[in-house]
Structures are given as structure tokens and as C-alpha cells.
Chain A
Amino acid sequence: MIGQDDKVLRVGLLPLGFFFCLLFVFPLGMFLWTSFTVKTDTSTVLTLQHYVDVLTSDSARAALVTTLLLSVVTGVVSLLLGYLLAYQVARRGPVLSKLIFMAAIASLFTSTIARALGWRVLLAYQGPINGVLVGLGIVSEPLQLINNFTAVAIGMIHIQTPIVMLALIPVIEALPKDLERAAIGLGSSRWRAFVSIHLPITWRNAVPIGLLTVMATASYFTTPVLLGGGRVDVMAIQIQQASQVLFDFGYAAALSVVLVAVIGVIAFLVFLSTNWRRGAAARGGS
């Protein structure tokens, strides 16, 4: 609080509030409304037809399954890799930790399209990865690595891992190094110190971060387009097709509501897991 003049300060909220309502709440409200209506020549009729269309469409259902599968695979793998990197950044010497950090940041701030292009070259039929695999005699002929689910998953994990790492570094740094040192000093092995001290404490903060990754992946567009080669149909592609190719805003809106509902369920899980964390902390007597 500054002085007694709260009224003057409150005015500051008005421009953003107005902007937010006019350009975020209103467009989305209108879009939501579209999902429940059909326009005829004379009037607008309320209907659930768009939702029926979405739920009975084989391609929409398949896209939903693909989206969920992609999100979960990406969430789990990038949580593991991000944790590993964050742990190394927090616990290694300054040079190595800086090197890992800068590598992750360089990757994070390169556009997702450039990175997808890089994967396109790496995963190509006659690309370097197939070259190494064939050269080492692991496979007899090149594998189909591009334009499939695996390629999209690799691209998505590449995008999410640095983000998870950034979020986890403070979590791991918050844990005093002395705790592990004490365990090791008392005769525990480093591995046991990690499993029985480090993991249980940081795990509670890591789960919500993983779920946020799942949510973010569920609505990704560029990577599935560029690395899926038209064979990996996710919800974001369905929405784009419905609105830009079919010009069916009602159907696009219904697809969006279904996607947001799914993401909402995941968000609810985030909420539950953070509450569970607080509950656990309370039970711990802190």
C-alpha cells in the first residue's frame, strides 16, 4: 500500500481490464457461442449438432487419441530428461553446469520451425541417423523415421525438455546440498542418497510441471505438421483444417471446446497434485 490513495492506483487496472475483456473474453465467448449455434438464412438456431458431429467423427476421435498419447509420451520423457539436466545444472561444477544450461537455452530460443527442419534432415531416410545405424550394422536397411508418430514425439520432447529443465532448476536448488552430504557422510551411497532423499522431496514439485507439459503439448500445431507429414493428425490440425479449409467455425469451435475440456481435466489434476503437495507438507509438520 502506498499512501492512502488506493483509488488513484486502482485506475491503473482499467486499461488492461478493458483490453482483456474486449479482446480475450469477448472473442472467446463469441467462439464458444458459435459452437452451440447454426446460422440459417433468416435466423440463428441453438443446437448441439456440432458436438454430435465431433463425437461421431472417426477422424476427430482418432485425433483426440493421438493428441493424448503424444502429450503423455512427451510429458513423461521430457520430465525425465529435464529432471536429469536440471539436476546436473544444479549440482555440477560451474563450467559444466553453464555449458548444459546454455545448450538448453540455445535450443529453447530457436524457433520451433527451425528445430523441426533440423529433425527433418536428421531423421531423413538417407539422413545421418539412418547412416549411423546402417554403418554400425544395427539395421540392415534405413528405417522410416520421419513422417510418423515417433518423429513428432521426438520433436515435441525436444521442445519441452528445456522448458521442464528451467522450471525444475529452482526446485532442485531449493533443496540444500548438505542434506545429501549428511546422508553420504553417514555412510549412505550417493545413489541411495538420491533415491531416498532427493527424489521424494523434489518429486512433489516435478509432477505439476510434467502435467503442465502435457497440457502445452496437447495444443501444439507446428511440430505435428512438419514432422508428421500429414500422417499424425492431432486436435490442433483438426481445428486449423475446420476453420481455414472448411470455413466451418461451428465445428472448429466444438473441436476447441472438446480440446479445452480435456486440457481442463489435466489442469484439475495439476490442481489436485499441488494441493496434495500442500497437504503432504502440512502432515510433515512444517
Chain B
Amino acid sequence: MKRLSLAFDSLVCGLMGVLTAVTVLFLVMPLIVVVLTSFNPTTVTFPPRVWSLQSYAVIPKVAIDAFVRSLILGVLSAALSVLLCVPAAIALVKARVPGRPFIEMALRSPLQFPAIILGVAFLQYYFFWQHKLSLPLVGTFWGLLIAHTVYTFPFVLVPIIARLSAPGARLEEAAAGLGAGTLTTVMRIVIPLLRPGIVAGMFTGFVMSFEDVAVTMFLVGSNMTTFPVYLLGNAEVSNTPSLYASASLGALVALALVLLVERFFGLRTVLGKG
């Protein structure tokens, strides 16, 4: 009986090991395949019969423009989210705000809200204001920036609130006890202690903005396309090596960011807060 259960044990462990290896392979295969496919010269075959970098040379200018636009949009919307979320989070956690649970729940609600519905609602809303104020919003950079900030701010708010609520040295109480005013305490104690939360929030916020399709595709108009929307539009109608080359470039930025965060802050601490 004992021996049988031991044999069963090693069988189960072996199977789990195999299944884990298969799952890891399942996760990385598509990424490897995209990069390898991009080395095809003219038509998509896998594995490529001829290896070349030609597809990278013919990435159209539209794609590069969209790529740069997405980078700027991601950085700006993450920064704007931080500017909005830090004071709000400090108010929610450190001051007695009536109805705090309700406010927090409301501000978190976009996290579970379907992005595609937000996108359509924004399109309609922008049309409404364009009609009222004759102020162009659809197909403008500002229109995209506003929508992206609405979409990304909850991802920034959550780690900042988590960081603020973490029990730790009650340094701000010490500062207040030593006679520092409210604003001095906030600027010199609370915000510096908040830095890991802000980094985590900006990281997630940037990634969400950089990769968003569902909100953005309704608002890009004819000449404000972002990188993922460009990729989607092209992937729907074509299948060329340069499409795979563009996709690889996008993946490269994401991986570089991940490695950077891992190197300087530790990915598990950053992601753990989100």
C-alpha cells in the first residue's frame, strides 16, 4: 500500500512536471513564432525558408508614427493619472472622508467595466461635445489622451491606495507631533514614501494605455491611429512579414520595460501591489 502510494505520487509529480513544461511552452511559443516569422523576406512561411531582415526595412512610416504616438500617449496618460490619483488617494486614506467605501468602489469600478463599451460611449460623448462646442475631439491627440487617462487611472489608483494603507512606521504622526503642518507632512513624508506605489501604478498605467485597442479604435479618426489599432487594422486585412516585424518591435518595447522594472524595482513587488 505504502509503495503503491509512493509510485502514484511520483507518477502524479511527473505528470505535473510535464504539464507545467507544456503550459510554459504554450505561453512562449506564439511570441517566438511572431519574431521568427518576421525574418521572412516577402511571404509568410513558418519556419522561414529564407532568412532576411527585409521586412524590418519596409515597415511603413505610418507604423513608426503610430508607434511613437502610442509611446507618448502612454507616458502622458500615466503621468496625468498619477497627478490626479495621488492627491485623491491621500485624501481617501489619510483624511476622514464621509462615504469612503462608496467613493473607492465607484473609482475602482472602471477596472471591471468592458473597455469596448467605454470606447463607444466616448465616441458618442465626443460627438455630442463636437456638436455643442464645435471643438474637435474624435481623431485628435487630446481626445485620445483624455480617454486613455479615464481608462488607465484606476490601474494607477489601486497600487497607490494599497501603498498608503500599508501599515508601517507612523512617520507622518511623528512629523505632525514635531510640529510639521499638514502640507509639509504630505510633501516631505507621505509622497516620498509613496514612490513604489507610484512606480507600480505608472508601469501598469503605461502598459494598459500602450496596448489598448478597445477604447482607442473608436476615437482615432482617420490620422491619429495608435500602434495597436494600426496593427489590428492591418492584421484584419493582410498577412505580410512586415506586419510581424512591427508586432515584434512592439513586443520588444514591452519586454524592455519589463526587464527595466525587474532590474530596478523587482517585478514581483511592483505587480504584487496591483
Contact = CB atoms under 8 A, between A and B. Distances in A.
B120 A243 contact: yes
Interface in A189-226: 189-192, 212, 215-216, 218-219, 221-222, 225-226
Interface string B252-271: 00110110000000011001
B34 A1 contact: no
A95 interface: no
A138 interface: no
A106 to B, nearest CB: 6
Interface string A101-121: 101111101111111111111
Nearest to A190: B9
Interface in B114-136: 114-118, 120-125, 128
Contact of A109 (B116, B125, B185, B257): B257
Contact of A16 (B37, B153, B173, B214): B153
A121 B34 contact: yes
B27 A113 contact: no
B121 to A, nearest CB: 4
Contacts of B114: 218-219, 236, 256, 259-260, 263
B33 A118 contact: yes
Interface in B83-102: 83-88, 90-92, 94-97
B100 to A, nearest CB: 10
B248 interface: yes
Given A3-B181, A166-B271, A190-B13, A118 B20 contact: no
Given A17-B88, A113-B228, A121 B33 contact: yes
Contacts of A170: 272
B106 A105 contact: no
A222 B8 contact: no
Contacts of B248: 114
A20 B112 contact: no
B44 to A, nearest CB: 7
Interface in B229-264: 231-232, 235-236, 239, 243-244, 247-248, 250-251, 254-255, 257-258
A30 B125 contact: yes
Nearest to B29: A122
B91 A13 contact: yes
A169 B272 CA distance: 9
B90 A12 contact: yes
Contact of B27 (A107, A128, A166): A107
A276 interface: no
B121 A30 contact: yes
Nearest to B6: A189
Contacts of B236: 225-226
Contacts of B83: 15
B46 A127 contact: yes
Interface string A52-75: 000000000000000000000000
Contacts of A115: 30-31, 34
Interface residues of A, number: 85
Given A3-B185, A23-B150, A12 B24 contact: no
Given A28-B121, A103-B24, A256-B117, A10 B31 contact: no
A109 B94 contact: no
A110 B8 contact: no
A3 B176 contact: yes
Given A100-B20, A116-B235, A109 B244 contact: no
A168 interface: no
B211 A120 contact: no
A236 B115 CA distance: 10
Nearest to A237: B116
A84 B88 contact: no
Contacts of A88: 16, 20
Nearest to A118: B30
B87 A12 contact: yes
A84 B117 contact: no
B211 A112 contact: yes
A114 B231 contact: yes
Interface of B: 5-6, 8-9, 12-13, 16, 19-20, 23-24, 26-34, 37, 44, 46-47, 83-88, 90-92, 94-97, 103, 106-107, 110, 112-118, 120-125, 128, 146, 149-150, 153, 157, 172-173, 176, 180-183, 185-186, 190, 207, 210-211, 213-214, 217-218, 228, 231-232, 235-236, 239, 243-244, 247-248, 250-251, 254-255, 257-258, 267-268, 271-272
19 contacts: A9-B90, A9-B95, A13-B92, A19-B84, A20-B107, A28-B121, A85-B24, A103-B24, A107-B28, A111-B228, A111-B247, A114-B34, A114-B251, A115-B31, A124-B46, A161-B27, A190-B13, A219-B115, A256-B121
Given A111-B251, A113-B247, A221-B116, 17 more contacts: A2-B95, A2-B176, A9-B95, A13-B91, A16-B157, A26-B125, A31-B124, A103-B27, A106-B28, A106-B31, A110-B250, A111-B210, A120-B235, A189-B8, A236-B214, A239-B117, A256-B114
